[in-house]
Structure 1
Amino acid sequence: MMPVLNSTKNLEILEPPTATREGVGVFEYTDHFTVFHYGRMPDPIPGKGEAICRMAVFNLTMLEAAGVRTHFRRFITPNRIEFDLARVPGPGTGPLTPGARNYLVPVQVLFRNELPQGSSVHRRLASGELTPAEVGFDRIPAVGEKLQQPLIEYASMLEDVNRFISAPEAQRLAGLSDEQFQTMCNTAVKVNEVLTGHAREVGLSHSDGKAEFLLSSDAHVVLADSPGTPDESRLLCGGLHCGKQVLRNWYVDNGFEVPVSRLIAESVPRSQWPRPARLPPAFLPVMSNLYRSLSETWTGERLWNAPDLQTAVQDVARLIGQ
């Protein structure tokens, strides 16, 4: 299987897609993690891939049952899924032609239910990129504050560093008709509702997340990738992060953030980028327990005899000094 750029998954193409027919692909979920748009960081986390994969399978099955059409075909134990494979627009392709079919939509739809630590909304409010009114407030919201209603945003998806875009630009880049674009938006809202409801049932908070889509060969908008996993959503237990925000915070707090945006803006070749620092060894078993415990809590499967989630989260909190 070949690595997918800036992804924690490897891709195997069983049948290549064409302009008129879906192909068949297999994702292998690895133990890697990514932060800062750098790509895979140096330290694999044992068991993360299988834990994420099982959550993805659970969520795609749950969403199908709720009436959401997805690209999911079958689960291949322990850490792979088979799925309908669409064509991927190449770098620099530009806006897609209306009427084209069977392609990965180069736009992601983001949904926000609250504003935890790490949310880009705080940075964008501070810089003036967003106003409080655009987020539904008459003042600067506090860290962790809940939104009165979910905030839907759009971002590019296949650029070196993805950027927030308006709804009209998202539709233009995606090459979708008015009806298709509205379907994509409505589907993202439905996905958020289902995931947020399930999180609440198992004692978690689904703070924010994203949905990715493909346009099928019969011109239907289809949910893709791995919605609701900690690689795609911020899930909190008792106000503490259950995913890679913990790792991102460690890098930032210790001055090890990789300045990818600046490196790209300055045209520094990737071969000359600084190598990220390695995590302290103590992080790996604690994060491994966190991902496995989260997966067991979310899916109801007991596979690893992981500690209960509150214990796993508290172990992380002690590790990072919270």
Structure 2
Amino acid sequence: MIDPRIRMRHLRCFLETARGGSLSAAAASLHVSQPAASKTIRELEDILNVTLFARSSRRLTLTPAGKTFQQHVGAAFIDLGRAEDLVRERPVRRTRLIVGALPTASTDLVPRAALSLHDTAPECMLRVTTGPNWLLLSQLREGTLDMVVGRMAGAQVMEGLSFRPLASEPIIAVVRPDHPLAGKPPDATALAAFPLMLPPPGAVIAPLVSAYLHSIGLTRPEPAYESVSLSFGRRVVLLSDTVWFISEGVVRDELSRGLLTKMAIEDNLLSGPVGVSMRMNSTVTAEQKLFLEALVHAAESLSHQQADLRQADHQ
């Protein structure tokens, strides 16, 4: 039951304060004085009997209760606007979702989720942008992106961001089907005899690959190429003896069609979570919720497919 003392002005002031991080920003957006905005927030906290903002610094930050309240109030405002449009027979408002996708997610996981989102929310235009992990997470933190889908970055890079895992994905070594090392377990001597393509230093998977190569005795690898690009990597591997270390999701379609094949690596060092990164204090919109659900279903579907393929390989 909604407390009858809560008014729209309380909710609007709360959302604007959370978005701008200050009472002055909220006051400017709502065209009221700062004391009026401060009084409105105090009234709302008194009604709810909780503290919504931490005031220990110049910038107001949401408390755990404030984050919960923001998430649900923000979604409610979006739904209310849609309901108003429908009953007044207004044209359905076009919405937009901007997603950053790392290579491991952009070739299969995100496209599947994109198609699902279009089926459930055709009024939502989805923009997908790709790039290195550090750039996408920087854009996410700045508000240019709504979410980033891919491998989890290091703790220092994830400050202010949350991560929801979807699946665990291995890094693999791929070669052309008639390569001398196709299907064989790699060792330092064998790998040293062929050109290597490794992830560049800024890639999320670079430290994992480096640790793995060190564990098998290849302590100072000298790669011929550094790339996580599907178009570049696939072509180089098909035209040469290059061994490419890459996330399985990037080349999943090439493996299923037999264009590329894996070396026999069985090592937990090369597995890691793939999921969704978002800003901690951002309001989760209805479109973001739908896309998150689509990503979960797509990840589950891909997991079942991979399990079936592994079972077929062992038969």
Bucket of the pairwise TM-score, normalised by the shorter protein? under 0.3
TM-score by length of 1: 0.24
**Higher percent of residues as strand:** 1
**Higher percent of residues as helix:** 2
Q: Greater CA radius of gyration, 1 or 2?
A: 2
TM-score by length of 2: 0.24
Higher RCO (CA 8 Å, separation ≥ 6 residues): 2
